[in-house]
Amino acid sequence: MGIVVKQSIYNSIASYLGIVIGAINTIVLFPNIFSADEFGLTRVLGAASLMLATFGSFGVPNIALKFFPFFRDKENKHNGILFIILCVH
């Protein structure tokens, strides 16, 4: 069996295992541990954080591609823009 086939099988198993664990967590554990209000709050906070993270990194890769060559310097390396880009993204 080739390396790519073996890695794709492992990746598929890990993905399906993650889906099963997430389903068990959401269907069985969360309703028994949290009240309905707390369970809803965890769902809303998770969805809101994913949405804000998407908008938060909006355009950062394009900014890095456009402006990084201008900030590059032999003495100061990159003048700190790489650190700022990695912190934001």
Output 36 or 66, whichever has higher pLDDT.
36
pTM: 0.52
pLDDT of residue 78: 66
Question: Rounded CA gap, 50 and 75, in Å?
Answer: 39
Q: Which residue has the tokens 């912190």?
A: 87
Domain range annotation of the chain: 1-56, 58-89
13 touches 21 (CB < 8 A) = no
Taking residues 12-32, what's their average pLDDT?
A: 93
Q: Give the DSSP H or E segment for 87.
A: helix 81-88
**Average pLDDT over all residues of the chain:** 84
What value does the mean pLDDT take over residues 63-74?
A: 73
How far is residue 39's CA from residue 26's CA, in Å, rounded to a whole number? 9
CA dist 79 and 65 (Å) reads 15
